Structure 1
Amino acid sequence: MIKRIIYLLLLGVLLNSCSTTKYIPANEKLYTGGEVKVADKNIAKGDASNIKSEMKALIRPVPNSKLLGMRIKLWLYYKTKNRSNFIQKFLSKYGQPPVFVSQVNLEKNSEIMQNRLQNESYFQSTVKGDTVGKERTAKAVFTVNAGPSYTINKVSFPSATDNSLDTAVRGTMKETLLKPGEKYNLDVIKSERIRIDSRLKEEGFFYFSPEHLIIRVDSTVSDHKVDLVVRIKPETPDQARWIYTIRNLYVYPNYSLRDTSLKLDQAVPYRWYNIVDPRKTARPYLFANTVLLRPNDTYSRTTHNNSLNRFINLGPYRYVKNRFEDVTPDSPKLDVYYFLTPYKRKSLQLDLLGRTSSANYTGSQINLSWRNRNAFKGGELLTVSLFGSTDVQAGGQNGGFNVFQYGAQTSLSWPRLISPFNFRSDNAYIPRTTLTLNYTSVVRQKLYSLNSFSGSFGYQFKPNLHKLNELNILEVNYVKPRSVSQLYTDSIAKSNNPALKHVIDPQFTVGVSYAYTFDNTTEDYRTNSLYYRGKLSLSNNLLGIISGADTLGGKVKTLFGTPFNQYVKLENEVRFFHKITTGTKLATRFLVGVGLPYGNSTVLPYSQQFFIGGPNSLRGFRARSIGPGTVNSTALNGGFVADQSGDIKVEANVEYRAKLFSIVYGALFADAGNIWNYNTRTGGDAFTKDFYKQFAVDAGFGLRFDATVLVLRTDLGFPLLRPFPNAAGSRSVPLSFNNAIFNLAIGYPF
């Protein structure tokens, strides 16, 4: 029913889009947009082009939007205007009323353009507007006479004197935004005032503001040049001229709006700050990493802002309120107060999740999490979670081989580094120490069940907004089969595939890992943005060397009665995003992962191996169905299709994303990649120099329903190249909906 409505809607738009003007009143004309002409022939082509695009963006109102040359929203407005039924009422919110040429104020638009040009060095500019119309439509045409542009001749700052403020302003001169030879620009002048103020705030000028600066412009210089003079306004008050230092600091860990008294008589000194906490809700050392200002320090805005950010990142506190009090007796001094409003200390959360995969599995998961935000009054976050999940396949190759999981996860996070070494950082981000303990039971119906125990202890620290370092000095993972069915045992024997046996082998890894992440993709103003994550993992390297482990030589070593894994693993992921226009973006991803098993291992442990295919990988192939190399995954004994895994992975993805309307985005994508074994062994291919000839390749399209808090994604992927040839020796796959894979997922693939 919904599909029919959409098809009829699109057909109606195509048939009627050209007739939207028939609804225009007789005394009106539909506004089709504005045009800007630069009449001055002395203006360089590049400057003229910039003037046209910038002035055109200023024209108001904006005409009715188009999609593929059709005013669909305007057509919807007229067709649903009376809202006679449910469908019309639903579609009416996407309609757009007509914009008439009579709504265009030519004089006001010309005035705004002329003012902008004068602010950008064209002091003698003029702009005139007119309308050019047809029978039912009209556009606005603005003619710009820009005149000559004025450039900066020289810039002068205050002289270095006994006046500390004059000296400080002059000290910022080297980083000035005002450069001789560049065009005059009022926005740059405003930015220069803000820049100087920001610099002075780092040097203790607490009460100074950009409004205390004046930049005079002398346009009497010949050859269309100007001199700029940076000065402090004479009426600037004394407070703005003084350098302030810190006297006392107070922290209120249990503040509420009902508190009206500062209770300084109850302040308890701790090191360089004071705690006002009659109820003893927090231990004093909790704030040693957040109170970055110290007595007698010169006030610094950066240090102050970093402190506020750290208070927020501590975890237990919902709101942070800050106050400075001028306590100047004989010299400029400030008392600092931090008022912290805590979250509820304990909380219980229940999550119900649903999911589907390209392998025709439909899953659900339930999570029950208990959280204590200040477990031991030192800002510790204690989380205990119980979970259970099911992945059931009603039909397809794996019918009946369902997956069930349940277990518990526990983590304890400290807002500081628990280490024998003394590390001190003063940026905006608190370093953290994290301890995790997890248990998971995996039941593959009719095949096997596994017990998995894992734990880690490590650190997280951010040098700045874009960079994250994660160092786990201990990672332990122990996997042991609880039961194995005869069906699975027979599958191992008949397939002669060691990978199947590897799934149920006891696995014991003990090692360290380090991961580095760079991410500036949250900054939407960037044309190009980048995400990179690299991770190095080691397991039992030193133990293997000391014990002389050598599986190939018959020297298999054990730890607590279980053979331990020995490997080096390196993972790299790069994502690059290019903004084409507002609402359109090109997203790319490249993944390379290499695992080197040696000594006590000939293959990576199953939990550390690479997989490829599925809704977040190669979307034209079923999840975990590709590789290693040219392996063709087929149904084994009883119809079971095993997950394909490998020691090496190469994958590349590209996706064109465009906003269609409202929260609906469209995407065109292509994916390529495969996995390989490090060593040649039965059941898979090893990595060679001709690896690219074994790539699986797909392409497709999809929709994204982006509601910000939730992104629902649908992708239809078409396999184009398989890693293995068919009976005729060809790797190509016919382009057909019968071969397509439908993916339904939450979130973007990358």
Structure 2
Amino acid sequence: MIKRIIYLLLLAVLLNACSTTKYLAPGQKLYTGGTVKVDDKVISKGDAKALSSELKTYIRPKPNSSLLGMRIKLWLYYKTKARKGFIQKFLSKYGEPPVLVSQVNLAKNSEIMQNRLQNISYFQATVSGDTIGKEKTAKAVFTALPGPSYTIRNITFPGATDNSLDTAVKGTMKQTLLKKGDKYNLDVIKNERIRIDTRLKEEGFFYFAPEQLIVRVDSTIENHQVDMTVRIKPETPDRAREIYTVRNIYVYPNYSLRDTSLKLDQAAPYRWYNIIDPRKTVRPYLFANTVLLHPNDAYSRTIHNNSLNRFINLGPYRYVKTKFEDVTPDSPKLDIYYFLTPYKRKSLQAEIIGRTTSANYTGTQLNLSWRNRNAFKGGELLTVTLFGSTDIQVGGQNNGFNVYQYGVQTSLSWPRLIPFNIKSSNAYIPRTVLTLGYTSVVREKLYSLNSFNGSFGYQFKSDEHKLHELNILEAMFVKPRNVQQLYTDSIKKSSNPSLKHVIDPQFTLGPSYAYTYDNTTEDYRTNSLYFRGKLSLSNNLYGLLSGADTLGGKAKTLFGTIFNQYIKAESEIRLFHKLSANTKIATRLLAGVGLPYGNSTILPYNQQFFIGGPNSLRGFRPRSIGPGTVDPTPLSGNGFIADQSGDIKLEANIELRQKLFSIVYGALFADAGNIWNAKPHQPGGTFGPNFLTQMAVDAGFGLRFDASILVLRTDLGFPLIKPYTPAGGTRSITPSFKNAIFNIAIGYPF
């Protein structure tokens, strides 16, 4: 059977090749690509192979694309050329006209490759080209004779003189990209000029440019070596040789294109800068953390760029325009103008969200957000969001137990650290954030919960990769209402203490700190990393001072409510490795542990861990696994299966992502994990030394439709191992579409 399939595939490839060449006119030949043969015994086989691969990338035009030898796009071009029907017109967008061998300019390609070889140290290189053809196809063959490579013997920089520019260039010599013994490379020389210019821009040489540097190369040295001399071109203008310092700084907080006058007579001095704001739209202190250059400072490109980033990160401003004015009287000076174009101060936004889950819930959510940028004229962002949602289950295990939510969430963000005055000069504005919110959760036929939350803390980035979030105080109070008889009966019939725990009053109060490192946005990296760690505390000091001890019969209250006492640590690490331009391996490891003590024997429900679902174990329904080997199904007689929760969580995921075509990506994945209780509450649910044998495992495949601004994801997960043994069954599961879980989600799982 397998042999027949292979034969059929080979036959299909052959037929397809014939079907795309039969449309060619007499005398035409389809171009099938080019090869480069490096034929020179002077260089090593390794270098020859590397040169051959590099030079091949310069051959133009590219041949028609193919998949497994089949020129599908070319075939579509011919089949939809007439474009008579709707389908033909649609498919014609993906067609590709034939690339003919007559379009290949051998002389031009040879010249480009020869120039490239000369630019990377092969000064004596020659390249020639020819075509080799069959009846309907032809390819290009190029032969390169590189000759010997030239290496660097000496590099000379300008000597230290009274000329400040010569001295500054010499001062950059230790970091030079030009190294003795390296091969000559024109790209490295260009980058060296940019490097020197970048350094000079930090020292006040505002008008200098990389083109004003020249690197002279002497190739007459014996043994195929070169001497390099870095010099400033004689025609460099005088002002490019000067160190410029700052004289005055002007900020325009309410600029528009209609403004044609600088209005310097209306400038209001504030500390080291001037505000031109006739309408008094902001308080002058707003820019104390953004205007990083000061009068008499030497111009620095990095500090200036950091200021621009900070202006944008303030929040109220859409655009920032900069103007530099040379105001040199006796010494080189610059006046700096920052023109800020604000957003509309107040805005109202409505958002409707549709969603579906693998637990057969279909839901909608409406968010109505009001925003006030620059609420108190100090760059504050005030946001008030009203929300409401419904999640209705049609069919499935929890039929009829629908979920409704509504509430309000407010936040106020200041672009500074209150009440501290911490100086920093990076590109990121630190923030102080205050949040307050209320949520009502109604689980039909079961119970309702009122939830109040608030926090006060700081967010700041130490560099482009590192984010710190320190909440001085986080508080949450959850109180049940309208607990139905069906739910209380479920509590009595079940040995699962978490059922009652869901409706217990919960009161958490304490600090938290989270650290995030993320370089995954840098697409050029072969390996990239995302890490997030968080530590949370609740009522630790107060619990110790009050002598809280629930197990000893000394449960304590705060504001008339028994409070929760715990320490909780969470971490997540994601590693991404590029196998090729279109193939990537993504892995994730999650670990979390919460240790209740003193006034608590279990984490509050809103702080517990859950597992399963489209962003977790995709072969299992959301919150349907654990803790440990606990079987979640015994309550099915009541028509209700509770969410499974725990104090400890371990999860690992791996996914192979492959671009298929256009915006469509495929994925193969496997997931494993479980949750556990920290203390004995349920038989089989406590974390112990055999935790690895209690892992739930699944595997599957899916598609991602990545349109950049939106990623639609579909996954089909097959459970392989359950952590519990169902009645009359086994933990291992034979993969089949009958027990597969289909997930639809927005965005990548991690």
Query: Do these two structures clear the TM 0.5 threshold for a shared fold by scoring above it?
Result: yes
* 1:438 alignment counterpart: 437
How far apart, CA to CA, are the structure 1 residues paired with 2:36 and 2:593? 56
Structure 1 stretch displaced more, 336-345 or 103-112: 103-112
How far apart, CA to CA, are the structure 2 residues paired with 1:562 and 1:310? 44
Q: After superposition, what is the alpha-carbon deviation per residue over 1:256-310, rounded to whole angstroms, capped at 9, x for unaligned?
A: 1111110000000001000000000111000000000001111111000000010
What's the CA shift for 1:24? 2.3
Secondary structure of the structure 2 residue equivalent to 1:303: helix
| Contact 1:246 1:299 survives alignment (8 Å) | yes
- Is it true that 1:275 corresponds to 2:275 in the alignment? yes
* 2:707 alignment counterpart: 707
Q: Normalised by the size of structure 1, how large is the TM-score?
A: 0.97
Secondary structure of the structure 1 residue equivalent to 2:221: coil
How far apart, CA to CA, are the structure 1 residues paired with 2:371 and 2:99? 54
What's the CA shift for 1:46? 2.2
1:147-546 correspondence runs (5 A):
147-419=147-419, 421-546=420-545
How far apart, CA to CA, are the structure 1 residues paired with 2:313 and 2:82? 52
How far apart, CA to CA, are the structure 1 residues paired with 2:555 and 2:133? 88
Q: After superposition, what is the alpha-carbon deviation per residue over 1:177-229, rounded to whole angstroms, capped at 9, x for unaligned?
A: 00001111000000000000000000011111101111000001111110100
* 1:5 alignment counterpart: none
* 1:88 alignment counterpart: 88
What's the CA shift for 1:373? 0.7
* 1:612 alignment counterpart: 611
How far apart, CA to CA, are the structure 2 residues paired with 1:400 and 1:473? 41
Secondary structure of the structure 2 residue equivalent to 1:739: coil
| Contact 1:497 1:683 survives alignment (8 Å) | no
Q: How many equivalent residue pairs?
A: 740
Write the letter of the residue equivalent to 1:373: R
Q: After superposition, what is the alpha-carbon deviation per residue over 1:295-344, rounded to whole angstroms, capped at 9, x for unaligned?
A: 11111110000000100111000110001111111111111100000000
TM-align CA RMSD: 1.5
What's the CA shift for 1:684? 5.3
- Is it true that 1:626 corresponds to 2:625 in the alignment? yes
- Is it true that 1:556 corresponds to 2:555 in the alignment? yes
1:617-696 correspondence runs (5 A):
617-634=616-633, 635-682=635-682, 685-696=685-696
* 1:3 alignment counterpart: none
Q: After superposition, what is the alpha-carbon deviation per residue over 1:384-439, rounded to whole angstroms, capped at 9, x for unaligned?
A: 000000111110111000110000000000011112x3311110000000000011
* 2:576 alignment counterpart: 577
| Contact 2:674 2:694 survives alignment (8 Å) | yes
How far apart, CA to CA, are the structure 2 residues paired with 1:572 and 1:507? 24
| Contact 2:13 2:68 survives alignment (8 Å) | no
How far apart, CA to CA, are the structure 2 residues paired with 1:60 and 1:376? 60
* 2:737 alignment counterpart: 737
| Contact 1:37 1:52 survives alignment (8 Å) | yes
How far apart, CA to CA, are the structure 1 residues paired with 2:34 and 2:693? 53
* 2:6 alignment counterpart: none
How far apart, CA to CA, are the structure 2 residues paired with 1:697 and 1:26? 60
| Contact 2:714 2:745 survives alignment (8 Å) | yes
* 2:142 alignment counterpart: 142
How far apart, CA to CA, are the structure 1 residues paired with 2:424 and 2:684? 49
Task: Pick closer, same or farther for the CA change 1:216–1:268 going to 2, 3 Å.
Answer: same
Secondary structure of the structure 1 residue equivalent to 2:743: strand
How far apart, CA to CA, are the structure 2 residues paired with 1:733 and 1:537? 38
How far apart, CA to CA, are the structure 1 residues paired with 2:641 and 2:531? 34
How far apart, CA to CA, are the structure 1 residues paired with 2:12 and 2:470? 57
How far apart, CA to CA, are the structure 2 residues paired with 1:68 and 1:697? 34
Write the letter of the residue equivalent to 1:698: D
* 2:49 alignment counterpart: 49
What's the CA shift for 1:689? 2.1
How far apart, CA to CA, are the structure 1 residues paired with 2:748 and 2:45? 41
Secondary structure of the structure 2 residue equivalent to 1:658: strand
How far apart, CA to CA, are the structure 1 residues paired with 2:728 and 2:220? 83
Write the letter of the residue equivalent to 1:43: I
How far apart, CA to CA, are the structure 1 residues paired with 2:30 and 2:334? 62
Structure 2: state its 5+ residue gaps.
1-8
How far apart, CA to CA, are the structure 1 residues paired with 2:29 and 2:691? 63
Write the letter of the residue equivalent to 1:714: T
Q: After superposition, what is the alpha-carbon deviation per residue over 1:550-602, rounded to whole angstroms, capped at 9, x for unaligned?
A: 11111111111111111111111111111111121111111111111111111
How far apart, CA to CA, are the structure 2 residues paired with 1:545 and 1:637? 44
| Contact 1:34 1:56 survives alignment (8 Å) | yes
Write the letter of the residue equivalent to 2:524: Y
Q: Normalised by the size of structure 2, how large is the TM-score?
A: 0.97
What's the CA shift for 1:25? 2.2
What's the CA shift for 1:67? 2.1
Write the letter of the residue equivalent to 1:225: Q
Structure 1: state its 5+ residue gaps.
1-9
Aligned-residue identity in percent: 77
Write the letter of the residue equivalent to 1:401: F
Q: After superposition, what is the alpha-carbon deviation per residue over 1:11-61, rounded to whole angstroms, capped at 9, x for unaligned?
A: 998795332222222211111111111111232222122111111111111
Secondary structure of the structure 1 residue equivalent to 2:482: strand
How far apart, CA to CA, are the structure 1 residues paired with 2:470 and 2:12? 57
Task: Pick closer, same or farther for the CA change 1:390–1:13 going to 2, 3 Å.
Answer: farther
| Contact 1:499 1:683 survives alignment (8 Å) | no
How far apart, CA to CA, are the structure 2 residues paired with 1:266 and 1:256? 17
* 1:22 alignment counterpart: 22
Q: After superposition, what is the alpha-carbon deviation per residue over 1:429-469, rounded to whole angstroms, capped at 9, x for unaligned?
A: 00000000011000001000000000000101111111101
